[in-house]
Structure 1
Amino acid sequence: MAYDVVVLGSGPGGYVAAIRASQLGFKVAIIEKESLGGICLNWGCIPTKALLKSAQVFEYIKHAKEYGIEASGQPQFESVVKRSRGVADKMSKGVQFLMKKNKIDVIMGFGKIKTKGQIEVTKADGTKEVVEGKHIIIATGARARQLPAMPIDGKKIIGYREAMVMPQQPKSMIVVGSGAIGVEFAYFYNSMGTKVTIVEFMPRIVPVEDEDISKELEKTYKKYGIDIMTNAEVTAVDTSGTGVKATVKTANGNVTLEADVLLSAAGVVANIEGIGLEENGIKTEKGRLVVDKYYQTNIPGIYAIGDCAPGQALAHVASKEAIICVEAIGYNEKKYHHAPEALDYGNVPGCTYCVPEIASVGFTEKQAKEAGYEIKVGKFPLSASGKASAAGHTEGFVKVIFDAKYGEWLGTHMIGYNVTEIIAQTVTARKLETTYHEVLNSIHPHPTISESVKDAIEVAYGEAIHL
């Protein structure tokens, strides 16, 4: 079976690459070992948001009196999990439809690059077939990182996959790691009634975010009743009893934590084992494939995108890399009219869907200063937002950072109600090289959370009206 483009993996990188290649007139096949849509649709972005929505609905019920409504109810944990799986299944079926619509052949099995231009696919029944592809795109994604002190057993020490489908709700949980996965599950389980303790190795939670964001989330989580330990490391876990006992190394000595279950949320590692990289001399570095700006590896005709490539491990990054990669192939094959623009990794938004939500893009305040900028910083609390007050979610703020000399928009950092929906404004504005002047001269609708971005800019330039 011969194709123009063969994609290994069907996550938000792989399936997007396949569709774009088909749109450009290539004959395309996609190889997937498990479920179409990859981790994002089946075990990541989508089903976790469904769980979080259920937690938010339960939070509304608990606080219904604050909205003038009498309501009561208890979560049915199994039903919450069932709804999440249903949402994931629907999305995966949507990808199946897109494959048929775009006339993409789906080959189920584990793919391994045999030689340049050939992938050997091992089916579930053990049979094998060889698929030929002039261009091979590796989009094999990533999995939960396992730490030596806490090997995942799927029962008492779990990863994000197990956290999504636990047969019953634990009474207590230790969450190791406070990146997006860690703080999202911490919020979900705490909201449902589980006693949660977060253990973070770094000095602050959500350590990739601006320091003000970390402080605000920690303050809010402690208000929720979540215990937080920073500058802390789990050095051993004992699972011999009914639950887990974790030995935590802190600045003040060792502490023992006990819980029903421990969630290891210490990041991800790329799926690059056993796919024929070493046999074909395909270079890797720090656990990722080495690629050029159009995602070609050191072997012509073999490409890598998404979590197995060097960029940020985010679904929207994988999708954009997929399009750039395929359009570059199309340009070289005279099926696309121009060379695509390389991705600016300094203008990639990050979103975390805990409550309050976190959204950010560009320089943090610390990074801007370290880069040598003289800056103007504006911070607008959502307690002063009419929309946030009406919604009953006044926690958080919008923080903007501008270059004082030229007015360049260096970064935005938000924590609060629905802020993930408005970060794209900053991304687009930065792409267009917009200054503060253009934003302040653009009318923002009232009442909205989005107008808080304008309010924060007014603060930065000493023109605050609503503060």
Structure 2
Amino acid sequence: MPDAYDLIVVGGGPGGYVAAIRAAQLGMRVALVEREHLGGICLNWGCIPTKALLRASEINHLLHTLDAYGFAADNPRFDLQKVIGRSRQVAAQLSGGVKHLLKKNRVTVVDGHGALAGPNTVRVTKDGKDAATLTAPHIILATGARARVLPGIEPDGKVIWTYREAMVPAAMPKSLLVIGSGAIGIEFASFYANMGAKVTVVEVMDRILPVEDAEISAFAHKAFVKQGMTILTNATVKAVATSGAGAVVTVEEKGGRTHEIAVEVVISAVGIVGNVEGIGLEGTGVRVEKTHVVTDGFGCTGEPGVYAIGDLTGPPWLAHKASHEGVVCVEAIAGLSHVSPLDVTTIPGCTYCRPQIASVGLTEAAAKAKGHEVRVGRFPFIGNGKAIAMGEPEGLIKTVFDAKTGELLGAHMVGPEVTEMIQGYVVARTAELTEAELMHTVFPHPTISEAMHESVLDAYGRVIHI
């Protein structure tokens, strides 16, 4: 007889395990099916271990700039395997923590690959053999995504890397080329540049970090070039010829001019593909577009009783979006009255490079395209006392308001610790605050967050410190 549950979650990443725990809190009997690592890609091979690596690279940068703070150190160096080992240890610790949380909340964890096998049914296989058959009136698919592979530039694990190989290098490459300048590509570019590698970034669009506000992209571009990176925009990688010594990359720039770049390693960071294969979608009402499952604001698919969340669905492909989707989906299933559909304009995006980048809501261009008359405020970190005292005066905060209503349409930041500060603007958008409340909010001094206040004041001609 199949094991019966109220809810089955397929996938134990940040969307799946959070959905399972929230459902258990609401009194549901829950089974979670995971074939590899609890915590998913984010915790094991993405968000968390990359931040441990980036922290190490920040320390390496500081060690080489000690003189500015009045210190000196002879021959600062690093042990790459210890750096990687710490990153893996952090991931393992948190994966174990997720296992504990699921046990604490009495979620049944089933080891194996889960796939739909008819109405209200999930079949679990392990090593090609049937392991379990589960039934439930509600099934959430949270199978995540994987790195997109460009034809002719297939990763080989030696010279052409995906994010996995980039996180556990056997040796530090002296030179590398990153294809793609989204968050993943730029974070790896920043890590390796801070660790001493010569880094080239190739982006097919006309600017790096193309989802960010154009001013923030331009600011970051200048900062990366100043650090020694080579940035090529409006450029396409046409071919990669590998050898034992590395790779020769043929790049075509705007106007059709091509040239070759020799590097030890190529990192491909050109987006993701939803894991829609092998999960039993055939013959169901679940609709797939461009490798991602189509859902409404509550995670519902076209198949009754089947839901989807996280990277398996549409953008933004972020761990915190997946977790929030999981909670919304489960609370809607439970029939709670206060549940609101997911609003992607209140989801912050963060890139943990140096300098950091964070944003929420509409860019200035997007706001104008939607017909808004806007008021824009800006404040540079060079006008902020705490940033200067920290020795990190390179940064900018930009706020976009609706000129008629005072609604905060978007906020965009580049500089130290902005990934921590963006939440202030996220709360403002979620609470539907206007410029009036933000201007009358007291910000502590001296903090970098004061620049957030000044940017709001600037939008209304009241800025103090510039």
Under a length normalisation based on structure 2, what TM-score does the superposition of the two structures give? Answer: 0.97
Q: Contact (CA 8 Å) 1:149, 1:234: kept in 2 or not? A: no
- Separation in 2, partners of 1:275, 1:267: 21
- Separation in 1, partners of 2:199, 2:314: 33
Matches within 5 A, 1:281-320: 281-320=285-324
Q: 1:339, CA displacement in angstroms?
A: 4.9
State the partner residue of 2:36: 34
State the partner residue of 2:142: 139
State the partner residue of 1:4: 6
Q: 1:129, CA displacement in angstroms?
A: 2.2
AA aligned to 1:160 is Y
Q: Contact (CA 8 Å) 1:143, 1:270: kept in 2 or not? A: yes
Determine helix, strand or coil for the equivalent of 1:47. Answer: helix
Matches within 5 A, 1:37-76: 37-72=39-74, 73-76=76-79
State the partner residue of 2:111: 108
AA aligned to 1:57 is I
Determine helix, strand or coil for the equivalent of 2:6. Answer: strand
Q: 1:98 aligns with which of 92, 98, 101?
A: 101
- Separation in 1, partners of 2:237, 2:108: 46
Determine helix, strand or coil for the equivalent of 2:443. Answer: coil
User: How many residues align structurally?
Assistant: 462
State the partner residue of 1:153: 156
- Separation in 1, partners of 2:289, 2:60: 45
Matches within 5 A, 1:233-312: 233-252=236-255, 253-312=257-316
Q: 1:57, CA displacement in angstroms?
A: 0.8
State the partner residue of 1:434: 433
State the partner residue of 2:400: 401
The question of 1:368 aligning with 2:367 is answered: yes
1:79-113: per-residue Cα shift (whole Å, max 9, x none)? 11111000000010000100110011111111111
1:183-216: per-residue Cα shift (whole Å, max 9, x none)? 1000100111111100000000001101111111
Q: 1:459, CA displacement in angstroms?
A: 1.4
- Separation in 2, partners of 1:420, 1:283: 34
The question of 1:13 aligning with 2:6 is answered: no
Q: 1:128, CA displacement in angstroms?
A: 3.0
AA aligned to 1:70 is A
Identify which range, 88-97 or 145-154, moves more after superposition: 145-154
Q: Contact (CA 8 Å) 1:177, 1:199: kept in 2 or not? A: yes
Q: 1:391, CA displacement in angstroms?
A: 0.9
State the partner residue of 1:217: 220
- Separation in 1, partners of 2:405, 2:128: 63
Matches within 5 A, 1:328-343: 328-331=332-335, 336=336, 338-343=337-342
- Separation in 2, partners of 1:167, 1:225: 24
- Separation in 1, partners of 2:372, 2:307: 37
The question of 1:165 aligning with 2:168 is answered: yes
- Separation in 2, partners of 1:420, 1:200: 23
Q: Contact (CA 8 Å) 1:289, 1:309: kept in 2 or not? A: yes
1:292-330: per-residue Cα shift (whole Å, max 9, x none)? 221111111110000111241111110010001000111
Identify which range, 63-72 or 124-133, moves more after superposition: 124-133
Q: 2:197 aligns with which of 194, 200, 203?
A: 194
- Separation in 2, partners of 1:7, 1:339: 23
Any unmatched runs of 5+ in structure 2? none
- Separation in 1, partners of 2:72, 2:297: 57
- Separation in 1, partners of 2:352, 2:409: 23
The question of 1:452 aligning with 2:455 is answered: no
Q: Contact (CA 8 Å) 2:285, 2:301: kept in 1 or not? A: no
AA aligned to 2:341 is A
Moved over 4 A (4+): none
Q: 1:377, CA displacement in angstroms?
A: 1.1
Identify which range, 252-261 or 206-215, moves more after superposition: 252-261
- Separation in 1, partners of 2:216, 2:180: 16
Under a length normalisation based on structure 1, what TM-score does the superposition of the two structures give? Answer: 0.97
Q: 1:229, CA displacement in angstroms?
A: 0.5
AA aligned to 2:4 is A
- Separation in 1, partners of 2:54, 2:72: 23
- Separation in 1, partners of 2:22, 2:315: 20
Identify which range, 381-390 or 65-74, moves more after superposition: 65-74
Determine helix, strand or coil for the equivalent of 2:5. Answer: strand
Determine helix, strand or coil for the equivalent of 2:208. Answer: coil
Determine helix, strand or coil for the equivalent of 2:365. Answer: helix
State the partner residue of 1:389: 388
Determine helix, strand or coil for the equivalent of 1:239. Answer: strand
Determine helix, strand or coil for the equivalent of 1:354. Answer: coil
The question of 1:462 aligning with 2:461 is answered: yes
Q: 1:125, CA displacement in angstroms?
A: 6.7
Q: Contact (CA 8 Å) 1:2, 1:133: kept in 2 or not? A: yes
- Separation in 2, partners of 1:145, 1:93: 28
AA aligned to 1:84 is S
Identity %: 50
AA aligned to 1:40 is C
AA aligned to 1:172 is S
- Separation in 2, partners of 1:311, 1:322: 15
AA aligned to 1:186 is A
Determine helix, strand or coil for the equivalent of 2:122. Answer: strand
AA aligned to 1:363 is L
RMSD (CA atoms): 1.2
AA aligned to 1:173 is L
- Separation in 2, partners of 1:402, 1:183: 28
Q: Contact (CA 8 Å) 2:123, 2:130: kept in 1 or not? A: no
- Separation in 2, partners of 1:158, 1:144: 10
AA aligned to 2:38 is L
Q: Contact (CA 8 Å) 2:120, 2:305: kept in 1 or not? A: yes
- Separation in 2, partners of 1:426, 1:105: 38
- Separation in 2, partners of 1:122, 1:303: 21
Determine helix, strand or coil for the equivalent of 1:115. Answer: coil
Q: 1:379, CA displacement in angstroms?
A: 0.9
Any unmatched runs of 5+ in structure 1? none
State the partner residue of 1:23: 25
Determine helix, strand or coil for the equivalent of 1:446. Answer: coil
State the partner residue of 2:132: 129
